[in-house]
A = this chain, B = another copy of it.
């Protein structure tokens, strides 16, 4: 598990950037422990081993750092997913790969999982941004006549909620590949595949 994502980004940068990154990393660790609602500024600065006043040299309030931390993580997750999917052209396989990769990625980074989950209720906008890519792969599958379904916002919301459920379950009960597989299976069923086909792709894709 990577504890210092933002700091690593800022290694060569100037002091201002490094302090800022330390605060972002600290915020993520604290959110993972206490959740976004219970977050205190002093928790962040204590975790970053900085004076509390330093926070305000970099962020204007709690929401700002929350948003930045969440978007920073989301961006990195997207980048990692893209890397894994560059060569995949089949719609359903892309959906399954993205779903499984997303789930497994955040499950092994519980700090990231926590901020992703909290974001879905605390920063609803983020959820839409993060899952934009999903929509594209679904559209691709439809263009390939692999999905027989009407793509509505609610369909996306359902799929997202299944993905979140899988993350949350593994966060609570421990990582378990079978859960990720079932989540993929469920997603494919919602996209119109028969149970048999869904299971096949969920297992191999």
Contacts and interface: CB of A to CB of B under 8 A. Distances in A.
Nearest to A155: B182
A37 interface: yes
Interface in A150-205: 152-155, 157-158, 160-162, 164-166, 168-169, 179, 182-183, 186, 189-190, 192-195
Contacts of A166: 154, 158
A33 interface: no
Please classify how large the interface on chain A is, using the bins under 10, 10 to 19, 20 to 34, 35 or more. Answer: 20 to 34
Contacts of A155: 182
Contact of A148 (B164, B165, B179, B195): B195
A183 B159 CA distance: 11
A89 interface: no
A46 interface: no
A121 interface: yes
Contacts of A189: 186, 189-190, 195
A160 B121 CA distance: 16
8 contacts: A154-B165, A154-B179, A157-B165, A158-B162, A158-B165, A158-B182, A158-B186, A192-B195
Given A154-B169, A189-B189, 17 more contacts: A121-B121, A153-B169, A154-B165, A154-B179, A154-B182, A155-B182, A157-B165, A157-B169, A158-B162, A158-B182, A158-B186, A160-B165, A161-B162, A186-B190, A189-B195, A192-B195, A193-B195
Interface of A: 37, 121, 148, 152-155, 157-158, 160-162, 164-166, 168-169, 179, 182-183, 186, 189-190, 192-195
